[in-house]
Amino acid sequence: MIFLTVGTQFPFDRLVKAIDDLCERGLIHESIVAQIGDSTYQPRHFEAVASLDKSAFDRNFQQASAIIGHAGMGTITMALENSKPLLAMPRRKKYGEVVNDHQVMLAIKFEALGHLLLARDETELADKVEQLKSFVPRPRQVNPDAVTRRISAFLDQV
Partner 1 sequence: MVREKKICLAASAGGHLSQLLKVAGCTSGYEVFVVTTSETVRAGLASMGRVHVVGECNREHPRRLMGVLLCCVRIIARERPNVIISTGAAPACLCCLLGKLLGARIVWVDSVTNVERISLSGRIIRPLADLFLVQWPELVEKYRGVEYVGAII
- Which residues of this protein are in contact with partner 1, per CB under 8 A? 72-74, 77, 99, 102-103, 105-106, 108-109, 140-152, 154-155, 158
**Complex with partner 1: residue 29 or 54, whichever CB lies closer:** 54
For residue 92, the SS3 value is: coil
Nearer to partner 1, 45 or 102 (CB): 102
Please state the closest distance from residue 22 (CB atom) to partner 1, in A. 28
Nearer to partner 1, 8 or 27 (CB): 8
**CA atoms within a 13 Å half-sphere pointing along the CA-CB vector of 25:** 10
Degrees, nearest 5: CA angle 80-82-86: 50
Shortest Cβ distance from residue 71 to partner 1 (Å)?
10
60 Cβ partners below 8 Å, 6+ apart?
A: 1, 3, 33, 35, 52
